[in-house]
Amino acid sequence: MSNNTQNNDNQEIDLSQVSKKIGDFFEGIATNIFKVILFFKRNIIWVSILFILGAGLGFYMDKNTKVYDHQIIVQPNFGSIDYLYAKIELINSKIADNDTVFLKEVVGIKDSKKFKKIEITPITDVYKFIENKSQNFELLKLMAEDGDLKKILNENMTSKNYPYHLINFRTSNETNYEKTVNPILNYLNTSEYYSLIQKEFVNNIKIKMVENDSIINQINGFLNSFSNTVNGSQKSDKLVYYNENSQLNDVIKTKEELVGAQGYHRIELVNLDKIVKSNGEVINIKNNKNTNGKMKLVLPVLFVFLFVLFGLFRSFYKKQQAKLNS
C-alpha cells in the first residue's frame, strides 16, 4: 500500500511540474509578444520613417528597373544542333564576362548593356522525333527496355535531337525584333561550313523533285494508255483480259507515294532556307518572378526587419556589458 501511495504522489508531482513548465512556456511567449509591442511603441517614429522610405525607394526601383523575357522557337537544320548549342553557350559566357563589345560588334545586339541572359532548351516532342523515322522509334523502344522512358526522353542525348528548340533571353528594357531577335538569328546562321552543307542539301532535294516529277509523268502516261485501251475495248465489244499480277495497284500506290513526297519536299524547302530556322518569336514578356516588380513591398519589410535586428543586438550587447561590469 505504501508503494502505491508513493507512486501516485510521484505521478502527481510530475504532472504538476509538466503543467508548470507549460504555463511558464506560454507566459514567456506572452511576455515576448508584449516586449515586441513595447519596442514598436517606443520606436513608432523610426519604424514609420523606415517603412515610408522603403516604400518610396521600392516604387522608384520598380518604376525604373524592369525585366523582360523573350522567346524564339528555332529549328536547327543540316545536323547543326551541337553548333547551335555551342553558339548560345558562347553568347552566355560573354554576358557573364560583361563583354559588351563582343555582343555589340560580333553578335550585333544594339543595346548590349541591357542584354542579361540567354539559354536554349529542347522542346520535348517525341512524336516529331519518331515521325517518318523508324530508326528513332526502334531506338526509343530499345532504350525503354533498360530504363525509365520519361527519363530517357529528357536525357541530353535524346533531347538534343528533337526538331524544335526554345531560345530564352532576358533584357532589362523593352526590345524589338531588329534590336535583338534579328541580330541573334543572323549570328546563329553565320557559318561557312553549314552554308555549304545547306547549298548541297537543297540542291539534292531539288534533283529528287525533278526525278519524282518525271516518274509521275511516266506513270500518268501509262495510266492514260491503259485507260484508253480499256475504253477502246468496251466500244468494240471485245473482251480484254489482263493478269491480276500486272501490278497496276502497285503503280497507283507508287504514284501516291511520290505525290506525297513532293508535297513533303516543298514544305521541307520552306524550312531549309536557313541553317537555324526561326518558327516564331514572342518578345517583351514582363518578368515578375522573385522580387521583380515587388520592391515596394520587399524594401519596407526589409528595413523594419533590419531595424528590429539592430534593436535586439543592442539590447543583447547592453545585457552582456552589464554582466561584465557587475
User: What is the number of alpha carbons within 13 Å of residue 79 lying toward its C-beta?
Assistant: 5
Where residue 323 falls (left for φ over 0; alpha for ψ -120 to 50; beta otherwise) is alpha
Cell numbers that stand for 255 in this block: 504514284
- Describe the strand order of the beta sheet including 68-76 as a list of residue ranges: 115-122, 165-171, 68-76, 276-286
Report how far residue 50's alpha carbon sits from residue 39's, in angstroms, rounded to the nearest whole number: 15
Which are the contacts of 71, defined by CB distance < 8 A and separation ≥ 6?
166, 167, 168, 281, 282, 283, 285
pLDDT reported for residue 241: 46
Residue that is written with C-alpha cell 525509365 in the block: 148
Report how far residue 41's alpha carbon sits from residue 297's, in angstroms, rounded to the nearest whole number: 22
pLDDT reported for residue 131: 59
Q: Whole-prediction pTM value? A: 0.67
Model confidence pLDDT, tens digit, residues 86-136: 999 999 999 988 888 999 999 988 888 888 889 998 887 665 655 555 555
pLDDT reported for residue 316: 73
| C-beta separation of 296 from 24 below 8 A | no
Report how far residue 229's alpha carbon sits from residue 244's, in angstroms, rounded to the nearest whole number: 16
pLDDT reported for residue 10: 52
| C-beta separation of 39 from 308 below 8 A | yes
| C-beta separation of 249 from 223 below 8 A | no
Give the residue ranges of DSSP H helices in 43-80.
Answer: 44-64
Cell numbers that stand for 234 in this block: 468496251
Can you give the length of the chain in residues? 326
Model confidence pLDDT, tens digit, residues 264-289: 889 888 889 899 999 888 888 887 77
User: What is the number of alpha carbons within 13 Å of residue 229 lying toward its C-beta?
Assistant: 10
Q: Which residues of the chain are modeled with pLDDT < 70?
A: 1-20, 23-25, 28, 61-65, 125-160, 226-247, 290-294, 326
Helix/strand/coil (H/E/C) assignment for every residue in 166-233: EEEEEECCCCCHHHHHHHHHHHHCCCHHHHHHHHHHHHHHHHHHHHHHHHHHHHHHHHHHHHHHHHHH
Report how far residue 301's alpha carbon sits from residue 295's, in angstroms, rounded to the nearest whole number: 10
Report how far residue 82's alpha carbon sits from residue 67's, in angstroms, rounded to the nearest whole number: 29
Which are the contacts of 225, defined by CB distance < 8 A and separation ≥ 6?
none
